[in-house]
Structure 1
């Protein structure tokens, strides 16, 4: 499982819009989405990909990191793998 952090998402962006946007740039569809409110200035989402390794997301990440989308510049990072043992 791998996770992708996408920050500075426009507040009213739907899950489906995020999925369509990322798939357009070659990402596989994500399996789960978690919204991160923060202070409200730069809302983010954490996307879970159950059958995708972090190395795959790392190869795709430069395609959308710092991209201007819906009047905002996105910050996109692969979440480091956590050791839950």
Structure 2
């Protein structure tokens, strides 16, 4: 399972728009999404891929990091792996 942080996403962007954007650049369809509002200035989304490992996401991440989408420069990072106990 891998998580991808999409920072500075326009707050009005729908989950479907995020899915279409990621798929356009070669990512598989994500399994879940969680919105992170933060201070409201730079909202983010964390998308989870249940069947994709973090090392695979790291290969795709440079395609989107610092890309301008909807007049915002995206900050895209692969989240550290969670170890369930």
When normalised by structure 2's length, the TM-score is 0.97
Gaps of 5+ in 2: none
Residue number in structure 2 paired with 1:30: 30
Give me the whole-angstrom Cα distance separating, in 1, the residues matched to 2:82 and 2:53.
13
**In structure 1, C-alpha distance between the alignment counterparts of 2:55 and 2:81, rounded to whole Å:** 11
Cα deviations by residue, 1:15-35 (Å, 9 ceiling, x for unpaired): 000000010000000000000
What is the CA-CA distance between 1:11 and the residue it aligns to?
A: 1.0
How large is the Cα RMSD of the aligned pairs? Answer: 0.6
Moved segments of 4+, more than 6 Å:
none
Q: Structure 1 unaligned runs (5+)? A: none
What number of residue pairs does the alignment pair up? 85
Output the TM-score relative to the length of structure 1. Answer: 0.97
